[in-house]
Structure 1
Amino acid sequence: MSALIGDKGYDGDGFRAEIVDRGAKPVIPNKSNRVTLHSFSKRAYKGRNVIERCFCRLKDFRRVATRYDKLARNFLAAVHLAAIVAYWIN
Protein backbone atom coordinates (compact mmCIF):
# COMPACT_ATOMS: atom_id res chain seq x y z
CA MET A 1 0.00 0.00 0.00
CA SER A 2 1.33 3.42 -0.89
CA ALA A 3 1.25 6.37 1.45
CA LEU A 4 1.34 10.12 1.01
CA ILE A 5 3.40 11.87 3.67
CA GLY A 6 2.64 15.53 4.33
CA ASP A 7 2.97 18.11 7.06
CA LYS A 8 0.22 19.75 9.10
CA GLY A 9 -0.53 22.25 6.33
CA TYR A 10 -2.21 19.46 4.35
CA ASP A 11 -4.49 18.38 7.20
CA GLY A 12 -7.88 18.88 5.61
CA ASP A 13 -10.82 16.51 5.31
CA GLY A 14 -11.21 17.08 1.58
CA PHE A 15 -7.54 16.47 0.89
CA ARG A 16 -7.52 13.34 3.06
CA ALA A 17 -10.58 12.00 1.21
CA GLU A 18 -8.88 12.61 -2.15
CA ILE A 19 -5.81 10.67 -1.03
CA VAL A 20 -7.95 7.73 0.10
CA ASP A 21 -9.95 7.82 -3.16
CA ARG A 22 -6.72 7.49 -5.13
CA GLY A 23 -5.77 4.39 -3.15
CA ALA A 24 -3.12 5.77 -0.81
CA LYS A 25 -2.96 6.18 2.94
CA PRO A 26 -2.54 9.73 4.29
CA VAL A 27 0.33 10.08 6.78
CA ILE A 28 -0.40 13.60 7.97
CA PRO A 29 -0.25 14.76 11.61
CA ASN A 30 -3.29 16.54 13.02
CA LYS A 31 -3.42 20.29 13.45
CA SER A 32 -3.63 21.47 17.03
CA ASN A 33 -7.14 22.88 16.53
CA ARG A 34 -8.63 19.75 14.87
CA VAL A 35 -11.82 18.49 16.55
CA THR A 36 -11.84 14.93 15.16
CA LEU A 37 -8.40 13.39 15.38
CA HIS A 38 -7.10 11.04 12.70
CA SER A 39 -4.51 8.38 13.39
CA PHE A 40 -1.24 8.35 11.45
CA SER A 41 1.97 6.36 11.51
CA LYS A 42 4.59 8.33 13.42
CA ARG A 43 7.24 5.91 12.20
CA ALA A 44 6.40 6.57 8.55
CA TYR A 45 6.23 10.33 9.19
CA LYS A 46 9.81 10.34 10.48
CA GLY A 47 10.95 9.33 6.97
CA ARG A 48 9.81 12.72 5.70
CA ASN A 49 12.84 14.30 7.34
CA VAL A 50 15.20 12.36 5.06
CA ILE A 51 13.42 13.63 1.94
CA GLU A 52 13.45 17.22 3.21
CA ARG A 53 17.19 17.07 3.89
CA CYS A 54 17.82 15.64 0.42
CA PHE A 55 15.95 18.51 -1.27
CA CYS A 56 17.75 21.04 0.91
CA ARG A 57 21.10 19.55 -0.07
CA LEU A 58 20.24 19.64 -3.77
CA LYS A 59 19.13 23.28 -3.54
CA ASP A 60 22.64 24.23 -2.44
CA PHE A 61 23.47 24.00 -6.14
CA ARG A 62 22.34 27.21 -7.81
CA ARG A 63 21.57 25.58 -11.14
CA VAL A 64 19.10 23.20 -9.48
CA ALA A 65 17.56 25.77 -7.13
CA THR A 66 16.81 28.33 -9.87
CA ARG A 67 15.99 25.90 -12.72
CA TYR A 68 18.18 27.49 -15.39
CA ASP A 69 17.50 24.61 -17.78
CA LYS A 70 14.52 24.90 -20.10
CA LEU A 71 14.30 21.21 -20.95
CA ALA A 72 13.27 18.66 -18.35
CA ARG A 73 15.99 16.21 -19.45
CA ASN A 74 18.70 18.81 -18.93
CA PHE A 75 17.30 19.70 -15.51
CA LEU A 76 17.20 16.02 -14.55
CA ALA A 77 20.83 15.67 -15.65
CA ALA A 78 21.75 18.67 -13.46
CA VAL A 79 19.92 17.08 -10.49
CA HIS A 80 21.81 13.82 -11.05
CA LEU A 81 25.16 15.63 -11.16
CA ALA A 82 24.30 17.65 -8.06
CA ALA A 83 23.30 14.47 -6.21
CA ILE A 84 26.54 12.75 -7.18
CA VAL A 85 28.66 15.69 -6.07
CA ALA A 86 26.67 16.27 -2.85
CA TYR A 87 26.93 12.68 -1.68
CA TRP A 88 30.44 12.10 -3.02
CA ILE A 89 31.78 14.80 -0.68
CA ASN A 90 30.14 13.19 2.33
Structure 2
Amino acid sequence: MRFVLAPGHRGDVIYGKELLHGLNPGHVIADRAYDAEHFHDTILDAGAVPVIPPRPQRRRPHACNWRLYKERNLVERFFAKLKQFRRVATRYDKLLVNFRGFVIIAAITIWLT
Protein backbone atom coordinates (compact mmCIF):
# COMPACT_ATOMS: atom_id res chain seq x y z
CA MET A 1 0.00 0.00 0.00
CA ARG A 2 1.20 3.48 -0.78
CA PHE A 3 -0.30 6.80 0.21
CA VAL A 4 0.44 10.53 0.12
CA LEU A 5 -0.86 12.96 2.72
CA ALA A 6 -2.00 16.10 0.96
CA PRO A 7 -3.87 19.28 1.85
CA GLY A 8 -7.63 18.90 1.64
CA HIS A 9 -8.01 21.71 -0.87
CA ARG A 10 -5.73 20.11 -3.49
CA GLY A 11 -6.98 17.85 -6.26
CA ASP A 12 -5.96 14.20 -5.91
CA VAL A 13 -5.00 13.67 -9.54
CA ILE A 14 -1.77 15.67 -9.18
CA TYR A 15 -0.45 12.99 -6.79
CA GLY A 16 -1.33 10.08 -9.07
CA LYS A 17 2.01 9.98 -10.86
CA GLU A 18 3.87 9.98 -7.54
CA LEU A 19 1.77 7.08 -6.27
CA LEU A 20 2.34 5.00 -9.41
CA HIS A 21 6.11 5.58 -9.57
CA GLY A 22 7.98 2.30 -9.18
CA LEU A 23 4.87 0.11 -9.15
CA ASN A 24 3.96 -2.45 -11.78
CA PRO A 25 0.15 -2.53 -11.59
CA GLY A 26 -2.08 -4.49 -13.93
CA HIS A 27 -5.01 -2.12 -13.47
CA VAL A 28 -5.39 1.26 -11.79
CA ILE A 29 -8.86 1.76 -10.33
CA ALA A 30 -9.75 5.35 -9.49
CA ASP A 31 -12.80 7.57 -9.22
CA ARG A 32 -13.98 10.28 -11.62
CA ALA A 33 -11.69 12.87 -10.05
CA TYR A 34 -8.78 11.08 -11.75
CA ASP A 35 -10.35 11.25 -15.22
CA ALA A 36 -7.71 13.46 -16.81
CA GLU A 37 -5.97 12.78 -20.10
CA HIS A 38 -2.49 13.18 -18.60
CA PHE A 39 -3.28 10.66 -15.86
CA HIS A 40 -4.64 8.13 -18.36
CA ASP A 41 -1.36 8.54 -20.27
CA THR A 42 0.65 8.06 -17.06
CA ILE A 43 -1.20 4.82 -16.33
CA LEU A 44 -0.72 3.53 -19.87
CA ASP A 45 3.00 4.45 -19.74
CA ALA A 46 3.28 2.35 -16.56
CA GLY A 47 1.93 -0.61 -18.55
CA ALA A 48 -1.40 -0.70 -16.72
CA VAL A 49 -5.02 -0.41 -17.76
CA PRO A 50 -6.93 2.59 -16.38
CA VAL A 51 -10.29 1.75 -14.81
CA ILE A 52 -11.71 5.23 -14.33
CA PRO A 53 -15.30 6.23 -15.04
CA PRO A 54 -15.53 9.16 -17.45
CA ARG A 55 -16.67 12.55 -16.27
CA PRO A 56 -20.07 13.48 -17.75
CA GLN A 57 -18.72 16.53 -19.60
CA ARG A 58 -16.08 14.55 -21.54
CA ARG A 59 -16.48 14.86 -25.30
CA ARG A 60 -14.88 11.49 -26.05
CA PRO A 61 -15.15 9.32 -22.93
CA HIS A 62 -12.71 6.47 -22.33
CA ALA A 63 -14.06 2.96 -21.89
CA CYS A 64 -14.45 1.77 -18.31
CA ASN A 65 -14.61 -1.81 -17.07
CA TRP A 66 -17.57 -1.36 -14.70
CA ARG A 67 -17.31 -4.90 -13.35
CA LEU A 68 -13.73 -4.29 -12.25
CA TYR A 69 -14.58 -0.77 -11.04
CA LYS A 70 -16.90 -2.27 -8.43
CA GLU A 71 -13.77 -3.50 -6.60
CA ARG A 72 -13.08 0.12 -5.69
CA ASN A 73 -15.52 -0.25 -2.80
CA LEU A 74 -12.69 -2.00 -0.93
CA VAL A 75 -10.77 1.27 -0.90
CA GLU A 76 -13.78 3.24 0.32
CA ARG A 77 -14.43 0.69 3.05
CA PHE A 78 -10.77 0.93 4.10
CA PHE A 79 -11.09 4.72 4.43
CA ALA A 80 -14.24 4.26 6.53
CA LYS A 81 -12.36 1.87 8.85
CA LEU A 82 -9.41 4.24 9.02
CA LYS A 83 -11.68 7.08 10.14
CA GLN A 84 -12.86 4.94 13.06
CA PHE A 85 -9.53 5.82 14.66
CA ARG A 86 -10.35 9.10 16.39
CA ARG A 87 -6.79 10.31 16.15
CA VAL A 88 -6.94 9.99 12.35
CA ALA A 89 -10.44 11.42 11.94
CA THR A 90 -9.75 14.54 14.01
CA ARG A 91 -6.05 14.84 13.17
CA TYR A 92 -4.81 15.56 16.68
CA ASP A 93 -1.17 15.50 15.58
CA LYS A 94 0.24 18.85 14.54
CA LEU A 95 3.31 17.46 12.77
CA LEU A 96 2.87 15.64 9.47
CA VAL A 97 5.46 13.00 10.38
CA ASN A 98 3.55 12.07 13.56
CA PHE A 99 0.21 11.95 11.74
CA ARG A 100 1.69 9.84 8.95
CA GLY A 101 3.13 7.43 11.51
CA PHE A 102 -0.22 6.94 13.17
CA VAL A 103 -1.97 6.46 9.81
CA ILE A 104 0.54 3.68 9.08
CA ILE A 105 -0.10 2.07 12.49
CA ALA A 106 -3.87 2.30 11.94
CA ALA A 107 -3.55 0.77 8.46
CA ILE A 108 -1.49 -2.13 9.81
CA THR A 109 -4.05 -2.68 12.57
CA ILE A 110 -6.87 -2.80 10.00
CA TRP A 111 -4.88 -5.17 7.83
CA LEU A 112 -4.23 -7.54 10.75
CA THR A 113 -7.85 -7.66 11.91
Q: How far apart are residue 70 of structure 1 and its match? A: 2.5
Are 2:31 and 1:7 equivalent residues in the alignment? Answer: yes
Distance 2:32 2:57 in 1: 11
- Larger Cα-atom Rg: 1
- Paired-residue identity, %: 36
**Amino acid across the alignment from 1:16:** H
Which 5+ residue runs of structure 2 have no aligned equivalent?
1-24
Are 2:104 and 1:79 equivalent residues in the alignment? Answer: no
Number of residue pairs aligned between Structure 1 and Structure 2: 85
Which 5+ residue runs of structure 1 have no aligned equivalent?
none
Task: For CA contacts below 8 A with separation 6 or more, give which structure has more relative contact order.
Answer: 1
Q: How far apart are residue 63 of structure 1 and its match? A: 2.8
Distance 1:67 1:19 in 2: 35
**Amino acid across the alignment from 1:40:** C
Q: Which runs of 4+ in 1 moved over 3 A?
A: 71-75
Q: How far apart are residue 67 of structure 1 and its match? A: 7.2
TM-score (norm 2): 0.61
